[in-house]
Structure 1
């Protein structure tokens, strides 16, 4: 039995003449998996109302709905965090809701331009906003996590191969299918697997791609080259996109996947690496000034700690001072990121 939805409430929301109660109702519908089929049926009928003479009868809403569902899922997880995070989540929820009419209109216009677009050629994108983590499920049942400031693009229906594109960091738990290889394209590196758990870090502002294999088998190759490199469990490979060279080492994979559990794990990391990871984790600019102790390294685990508490603990344990600068307003009237300066004594 399909769960009912309030069609008039949805129409009011899409038209822009909605109340706060309507907003809450629409959010609830998009968060309720039991109403997904009814919601898709309703949205499809609304699309046909735009222009019944030009709309094809086989429209597929998955590429739009996927993005909306992930936004709402992300918001639900964020509600469990502290006051500052909850306030940020409120703004994200409003932004996501405002995107619904825009997304529907954009999808309509795009499909009008190319009525012959096939479902297998339609791609969806998942985004993890700065300072957040997003869990995702792919069309084949594979699951994973997307880290702060990252993007994952994938076809809403896999063909003979399962290909995704990653910018940023993600952890993958891939469902095994010998007939359909799974490929992650990260910058100019291709990562090919069958059934595997692994972590990939490929941020735009870094010239290195890091792959850590927890279980299974992985093959790495440059998208313009023919040489392949096999990885075994507990392998970490760092690929330099400038020199096209690989460096392999043995590691504890948990250190590189613990972020999926909301933990920051450091194991003999130098203070510069600590600063970079703190900056991404808390969506801040972290500057490390270290002219006195180049070999200062950290071993620690932080879980659901505010940045102020992390900095306090670092100061207790290490010869450092820190300063949190006041946020400045840019020329557009928006506040810039908070900045932390860590100085090694």
Structure 2
């Protein structure tokens, strides 16, 4: 009796796809449930979920269909061991049958019963082998489908990770822009505060300069007016300076000729007025000054007589022509008095104006 080993054992090499696929695709299979969960979920990951997404994915990868694949692989190994044991038993029986000489149809009932039992067991093993083979093929197809599905889900997961990373980068850039905008706003506000302080100080300085200009303008107007006034020296003492100007209309070409005369006249007049003021101050209660001519009127009061001084000053600058009709000396006193009178009239007119 012989047995068809090909039919009995078939192809016992199961090292092709299942183990290779399980070895090469374990990381891919681990992402199935995550991808399925992501496929079922309609919620879009937000910025708050970005930092915890890697940890969530790592936890979910450990809960995928790896247990199912391990279970199928264990069952396959168990049946492989069973097939190997059956093949060894069949090989032993073949050796025992082949070692016996060929004889006719066995007539021993025990031998016939044993052979029938072996044939039935052989047919059962062959059918079981075919069933296992079919189950292994189905398992390989399922494993292939799972590997393909896992690869697709892995690609989707990588794409989702890229989108999440891109969204995170965009969020970081937006945060940097917001920080820069806040810094620029604070810098602008600080500059505005500094500019307002500078503007207030400039306005205060401008106001003080304006007051000073007004004060100087009023002093200039007082000086130009010719009216008697007190000069402001910034002191609070009782003694100060009283000033009044004398203005006369002259020919412009004559100014250079009489400038030195006017300067001497100014010095003489100032000296005479100082002397008069000292005398007036000493005799203020009596309202008399020794050696002066008084015009006691309610408006003018006592005045100093400056005729002699002006005659002396102006006489030095006159051309002393010899007339020959009066005397051999200088010009007559009558002519000098006329000049002094005209000058005093001009001064009085200018002061009144």
Question: Which bin holds the TM-score, normalised by the shorter protein?
Answer: under 0.3
User: Could you tell me the TM-score, scaled by structure 2's length?
Assistant: 0.19
Q: Which has the higher helix share?
A: 2
Q: Which has the higher strand share?
A: 1
Instruction: Tell me which of the two structures has the higher relative contact order, counting C-alpha pairs closer than 8 angstroms and 6 or more residues apart.
Output: 2
Q: Which has the larger radius of gyration?
A: 2
User: Could you tell me the TM-score, scaled by structure 1's length?
Assistant: 0.19
